[in-house]
């Protein structure tokens, strides 16, 4: 394809947060073009938002159903190639289902769906459609996270024994949802957000990162969730602690909170194996600390020649120039778009271009949410996860795994 990949957006209009993030990320590598959208459930707001992006009025739709129907009817040299879904959680499944069944690739914000049953149904729809599906667990796009994953894949740390994932925030330490703050209000509404609050919003990011980096899967967990502001009317948990048991026998801990006063987005990951360990913090994303049994502690930095191919492929600037949140998102868009190019050309994709979360991670995230809610309701009883994902293709694998939402 000797052109930009065209996409349409569902959600993300005026007043939205994550839609703007996706549009910036999609534009960073100049490989995509936003050509249409249903940017709001309010048709007038959708059209006004489209005008903000200088889109023609006839490509700014009142509903996502209208967008998909009319785009599918356009000639191939004009219609969108994929759909970006950036709505609140409860709309992810119907939008993705409609787009896939109409023959469009889909890249959705997390979570994949509203609940686990929908996620499993969506996995079948993805498989039947033959289209690509990605979900933007964006922290997997950070260069040092990919470096950590590649080192563990190569056995540098030995067998993994311990995983510690933390994601504390403090922005919901008060009843912000009662002030008219839109981003807070829908995140604590179970009719829109789903069964979990803090765990669904940010805990899933930490768990996804732990599984992505280690290549392991959580077998069972014991969760203690708390509604610290429940006495003031908050319906979903705002803090939680979870013990984890992984498939290889490793043990782990997750701490996720949105009432930790003073914390911003303090996502961190520590992984310890038989031979060494890694430590990474999202607030200093270009740095990773590596520890060894018999050597001094090492500090790895992005854009350095000693890094592996995965980190190098996720880096755009020379050393010392910060790359983080937006660039992490951009790496997922870049890989997804490159994957589309390969598929449409009938070519074998570069394994590095397959490095984005698929429907497998989407289902896994929903299985985690349902397990933590069930465990906490049962006095933190050990609870198995109702899903075992297909192992991710390794960086050295040249074949595309169709069971992970792609094409063979």
Residue 113: give its domain's CATH number: 3.40.50.720
Confidence (pTM): 0.94
Same domain, 117 and 160: no
Give me the domain span that covers residue 69: 5-136
Please give the structure tokens belonging to residue 357: 């979360």
Residue 36 domain flag = yes
pLDDT in tens, 157-199: 999 999 999 999 999 999 999 998 989 999 999 999 999 999 9
Cα dihedral across residues 24, 29, 30, 31: positive or negative: negative
Beta bridge partners of 167: 256
Last residue of a domain, one of 136, 167, 200: 136
Same domain, 178 and 266: yes
Same domain, 95 and 183: no
pLDDT in tens, 26-73: 999 999 999 999 999 999 999 999 999 999 999 999 999 999 999 999
Same domain, 115 and 153: no
Residue 330 domain flag = no
Same domain, 293 and 310: yes
Same domain, 49 and 86: yes
Last residue of a domain, one of 87, 104, 136: 136
Same domain, 62 and 158: no
Long-range contacts of 344-349 (CB under 8 A, 24+ apart): 344/1, 344/81, 345/1, 348/398, 348/399, 348/400, 349/400, 349/406
Same domain, 233 and 304: yes
Question: How many structural domains is the chain composed of?
Answer: 2
Last residue of a domain, one of 82, 107, 136: 136
Which pLDDT score is estimated for 116? 97
Q: Which of 328, 399, 367 is nearest to 136 (CA)?
A: 328
Which pLDDT score is estimated for 399? 37
Same domain, 120 and 152: no
């Amino acid at each position: 394809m000797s052109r930009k990949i065209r996409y349409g957006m569902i959600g993300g209009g005026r007043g939205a947060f994550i839609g703007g993030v996706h549009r910036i990320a999609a534009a960073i590598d100049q490989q995509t073009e936003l050509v249409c959208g249903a940017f709001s459930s309010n048709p007038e707001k959708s059209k006004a938002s489209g005008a903000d992006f200088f889109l023609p009025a006839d490509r700014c739709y009142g509903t996502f159903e209208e967008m998909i129907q009319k785009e599918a009817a356009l000639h191939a040299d004009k219609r969108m190639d994929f759909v970006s879904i950036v709505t609140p959680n409860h709309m992810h499944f119907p939008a993705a289902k409609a787009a896939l069944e109409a023959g469009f690739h889909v890249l959705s914000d997390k979570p994949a769906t509203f609940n686990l049953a929908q996620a499993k149904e969506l996995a079948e729809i993805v498989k039947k459609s033959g289209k690509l599906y990605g979900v933007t667990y964006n922290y997997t796009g950070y260069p040092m996270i990919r470096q950590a994953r590649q080192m563990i894949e190569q056995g540098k740390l030995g067998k993994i024994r311990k995983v510690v994932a933390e994601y504390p925030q403090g922005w919901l330490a008060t009843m912000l949802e009662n002030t008219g703050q839109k981003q807070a209000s829908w995140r604590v509404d179970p009719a829109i957000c789903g069964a979990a609050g803090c765990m669904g919003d940010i805990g899933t990011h930490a768990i996804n990162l732990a599984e992505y980096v280690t290549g392991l899967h959580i077998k069972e967990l014991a969760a203690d969730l708390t509604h610290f502001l429940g006495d003031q009317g908050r319906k979903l948990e705002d803090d939680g602690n979870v013990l984890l048991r992984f498939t290889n026998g490793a043990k782990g801990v997750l701490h996720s909170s949105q009432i930790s006063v003073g914390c911003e987005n303090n996502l961190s990951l520590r992984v310890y194996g038989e031979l060494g360990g890694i430590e990474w913090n999202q607030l200093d994303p270009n740095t990773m600390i590596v520890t060894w049994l018999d050597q001094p502690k090492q500090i790895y930095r992005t854009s350095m020649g000693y890094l592996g191919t995965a980190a190098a492929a996720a880096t755009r600037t020379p050393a010392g120039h910060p790359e983080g949140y937006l660039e992490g998102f951009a790496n997922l868009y870049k890989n997804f778009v490159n994957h589309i190019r390969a598929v449409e050309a009938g070519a074998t994709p570069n394994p590095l271009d397959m490095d984005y979360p698929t429907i497998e991670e989407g289902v896994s995230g929903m299985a985690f949410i349902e397990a933590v809610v069930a465990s906490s309701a049962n006095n933190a009883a050990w609870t198995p996860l109702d899903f075992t994902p297909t192992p991710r293709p390794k960086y050295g694998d040249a074949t595309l795994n169709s069971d992970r939402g792609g094409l063979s």
